[in-house]
């Protein structure tokens, strides 16, 4: 069975790239492999965050003047520590902070896939990373850490500074990746709208295991495994684990929440585009007891029941949509306790 890696720490259940998300994934037992993204602060600390700025995943806009720096490279660690990196996801996570790599390395039973983000913005970050990994008191073995990038240059530098750590190349397609004979790329990771058999064949021809990202529906996970993917990267690692051990009902098995025969569609209206979602539940919005989330984990507001001629339809305004090149957009339905009820993509 393919290995599962929790994308951004397991971003489907807790604010992405936080200790809360990582610890929840590790506690669930669904996987020990955690993917996180690395940036560097102005005073030289390696921190875990996806975007180069903190606007999307913290309360920076509410806390600081509009003119205040928001780019991680322009902020010191103490300034980052003042920001709330959890409340945007759910009030229960208010006060969660952007973690340092050191804090993540201290967690027990963890294996890490570290993605170097915007490495050219941080001259020498590979040397900093190598030094920190070697100096860490963590019991993580080098084989349990992999360094990834969409750019071959930081991988080349990482190998020069710390050849003991495995490397992975990320690309949209394998033909877009750069491979060098002396650089031991051990895994190819692709971000596909849809994984194809030819993608697996091309990776196999190069002797590379293949990782498929980011898969957030049972159908896409199953398809990737059937095609021969060695690694599945997902925001919902426990959903992937349920494919093999049936430890809990997979989304849709215990309740047909999302209507699979009528996938979500966007419709234009005078007041803006609305996402129409067909569900097999009462179409009233009053007292709505569930939480609907998009692909970035952001909570979506159900603004109204849908059209009268489409019973069981919810309308969501300004629902985020991933770029087409990155694949389908995720919709996840949780109950008030955060339990996942159903998961789909459109």
Q: Give the pLDDT confidence of 207-233 residue by residue, as tens digits.
A: 888 999 999 988 899 999 999 999 999
The 8-class DSSP code of residue 12 comes to T
**Domain 3-245 CATH class label:** alpha beta
Q: Once rounded to an integer, what is the mean pLDDT over residues 230-237?
A: 95
> In this model, does residue 88 exceed pLDDT 50?
yes
Helices (H), the chain: 19-28, 60-63, 77-81, 101-105, 125-135, 152-161, 197-205, 218-227, 237-245
Q: How far apart are CA 109 and CA 210, in angstroms?
A: 24
Among the listed residues 70, 86, 78, the one whose alpha carbon sits nearest the alpha carbon of residue 11: 86
Among the listed residues 303, 256, 250, 252, the one whose alpha carbon sits nearest the alpha carbon of residue 276: 303
Q: How far apart are CA 246 and CA 3, in angstroms?
A: 16
Most confident of 52-66, 162-176, 294-308: 52-66
- pLDDT, position 284: 45
Judged on CB neighbours under 10 Å (0-12, 13-18, 19+), 246 is exposed
- pLDDT, position 137: 78
- pLDDT, position 232: 94
- pLDDT, position 107: 96
Q: How far apart are CA 308 and CA 98, in angstroms?
A: 44
- pLDDT, position 165: 95
Q: How far apart are CA 25 and CA 20, in angstroms?
A: 9
**Least confidently predicted of 9-23, 122-136, 211-225, 265-279:** 265-279
**Least confidently predicted of 24-38, 73-87, 103-117, 299-313:** 299-313
Higher pLDDT, 70 or 1: 70
* 3-class state of residue 68 by DSSP: coil
Contact by Cβ (8 Å): 283, 306: yes
Confidence of residue 87 (pLDDT cuts 50, 70, 90): very high
- pLDDT, position 325: 62
- pLDDT, position 281: 57
Q: How far apart are CA 319 and CA 306, in angstroms?
A: 15
> In this model, does residue 50 exceed pLDDT 90?
yes
Higher pLDDT, 111 or 242: 111
How large a percentage of the chain has pLDDT more than 90? 50
- pLDDT, position 273: 65
Q: Once rounded to an integer, what is the mean pLDDT over residues 237-248?
A: 82
Q: What is the largest CA-CA distance in the chain?
A: 63
* 3-class state of residue 82 by DSSP: coil
Q: How far apart are CA 116 and CA 125, in angstroms?
A: 9
Q: How far apart are CA 150 and CA 153, in angstroms?
A: 9
Round the average pLDDT of the chain to a whole number and report it.
86
Question: Taking the domains of the chain in order of start, what are their residue ranges?
Answer: 3-245, 265-345
* 3-class state of residue 323 by DSSP: coil
Confidence of residue 25 (pLDDT cuts 50, 70, 90): very high
* 3-class state of residue 124 by DSSP: coil
- pLDDT, position 66: 80
- pLDDT, position 123: 97
> In this model, does residue 40 exceed pLDDT 90?
yes
- pLDDT, position 272: 57
Q: How far apart are CA 126 and CA 157, in angstroms?
A: 6
Contact by Cβ (8 Å): 38, 320: no
Q: Which helix (H) or strand (E) holds 267?
A: strand 265-267
> In this model, does residue 80 exceed pLDDT 80?
yes
pLDDT (tens digit per residue) in 266-323: 776 555 567 777 776 544 444 556 788 887 888 887 766 555 555 567 777 666 677 6
Contact by Cβ (8 Å): 8, 113: no
> In this model, does residue 26 exceed pLDDT 70?
yes
* 3-class state of residue 291 by DSSP: strand
Task: Output b/e per residue, 136-149; b: 16+ Cβ within 10 A.
Answer: eebebeeebbbbbb
- pLDDT, position 311: 55
- pLDDT, position 176: 67
């Amino acid at each position: 069975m393919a290995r599962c890696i929790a994308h951004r720490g397991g971003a489907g259940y807790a604010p992405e790239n936080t200790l809360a998300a990582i610890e929840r994934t590790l506690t669930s037992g669904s996987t020990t492999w955690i993917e996180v993204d690395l940036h560097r602060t102005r005073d030289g600390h390696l921190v875990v965050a996806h975007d180069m700025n903190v606007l999307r995943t913290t309360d920076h806009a509410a806390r600081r003047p509009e003119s205040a720096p928001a780019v991680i490279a322009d902020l010191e660690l103490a300034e980052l520590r003042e920001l709330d990196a959890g409340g945007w996801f759910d009030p229960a996570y208010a006060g969660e902070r952007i973690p340092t790599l050191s804090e993540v390395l201290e967690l027990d039973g963890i294996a890490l896939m570290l993605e170097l983000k915007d490495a050219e913005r941080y001259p020498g970050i590979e040397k900093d990373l190598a030094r920190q990994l070697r100096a860490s008191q963590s019991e993580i073995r080098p084989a349990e850490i992999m360094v990834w990038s969409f750019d071959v240059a930081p991988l080349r530098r990482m190998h020069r500074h710390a050849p003991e750590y495995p490397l992975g190349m990320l690309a949209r397609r394998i033909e877009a990746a750069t491979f060098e004979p002396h650089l031991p790329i051990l895994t190819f990771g692709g971000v596909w709208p849809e994984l194809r058999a030819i993608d697996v064949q091309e990776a196999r021809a190069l002797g590379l295991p293949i990782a498929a990202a980011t898969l957030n529906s049972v159908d896409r996970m199953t398809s990737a495994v059937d095609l021969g993917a060695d690694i599945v990267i997902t925001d919902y690692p426990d959903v992937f684990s349920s494919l093999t051990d049936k430890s809990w009902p997979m989304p849709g098995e215990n309740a047909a929440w999302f209507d699979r025969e009528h996938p979500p569609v966007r419709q234009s209206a005078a007041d803006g585009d609305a996402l129409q979602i067909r569900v097999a539940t009462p179409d009233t919005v009053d007292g709505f007891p569930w939480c609907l989330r998009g692909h970035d984990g952001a909570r979506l507001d159900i603004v109204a029941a849908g059209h009268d001629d489409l019973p069981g339809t919810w309308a969501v305004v300004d629902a985020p949509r991933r770029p087409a090149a990155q694949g389908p957009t995720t919709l996840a339905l949780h109950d008030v306790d955060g339990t996942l009820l159903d998961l789909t993509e459109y």
